[in-house]
Amino acid sequence: MASPPVNVEPLRQVRGLAELVTLAAGCSFGDGLLRVFTDDEARRAQSLVSAMFPERAVRIRPFAQDWLGRQYVLDLRRSGMLLLIEPGSGGVYELDEEIPELFDLLMVDEPDTFLALDLFSAWREVHPEAIPAGKCVGFGTPLFLGGDGAVANLEVIDEEVYWSIHGQLWAKIKDLPPGTSIDSVQIR
């Protein structure tokens, strides 16, 4: 059986979060749509997010990931604030809900918004195989570089490679004015 985080005390800032990671650590839901992290997975996820968003390195605690490699995290410096961190768009989104509302209501009532279920369903029609452990479905051309949010722009990729490449690209363009033309991209 997978192990929950060693120290769940910081997770008690959000109603239901400590219980979620204690009861569901290592569990995947919706045919790979969402996975609740084990302690080892949470540490790995923290290093991925920290590489792309170093300013958040010491203040986040990942607890789940969706099929697109997006991380659900607790912001430890903002009492009770949950965030959705998305490598494909470079976005960090505040979630005003606590765990029961997020998991039992919003993910059920608005699955396209919170889990990209519409895109997941279209992906699964073309790719019915399970997404292997350590991999996610990522955007070949990031959304922040004009990539399309469609199945044709998706690929199964190693999570560490995906976050690393997107992090390097994001670091180079995040401060550019909107509409700036990018002539070429080199990945080293």
Taking 60 as the threshold, does the pLDDT of residue 98 lie above it?
yes
Q: How many domains does the chain have?
A: 1
Q: Find the domain containing 143 and state its range.
A: 9-173
Distance (Å, whole) CA 99 – CA 184: 42
Q: What pLDDT, on a 0 to 100 scale, did the predictor assign at position 1?
A: 52
What average pLDDT does the chain have? 88
Res. 6: pLDDT tops 60: no
What separation in angstroms does the CA of 20 have from each of 8, 116, 142, 170?
Answer: 10, 21, 31, 31
Q: Is residue 65 assigned to a domain?
A: yes
Q: Identify whether 187 is part of a domain.
A: no
**Would you say 99 and 14 are in contact if contact means Cβ atoms under 8 Å apart?**
yes
Q: pLDDT at residue 29 above 60?
A: yes
Q: Is 93 within the bounds of a domain?
A: yes
User: Percent of the chain having pLDDT more than 90?
Assistant: 55
* Domain assignment of residue 140, yes or no: yes
188 part of a folded domain: no
Q: How many residues does the chain have?
A: 188
pLDDT, position 133: 80
Please list, in sequence order, all residues whose beta carbon lies within 8 angstroms of the beta carbon of residue 86, skipping any fewer than 6 positions away. Answer: 68, 70, 92, 93
Q: Which of 38, 10, 50 is nearest to 160 (CA)?
A: 50
Taking the whole predicted model, whether its pTM rises above 0.85 is answered as yes
Whether residue 37 is contained in a domain is answered as: yes
Res 2 pLDDT > 70: no
- Report which DSSP code applies to 154: E
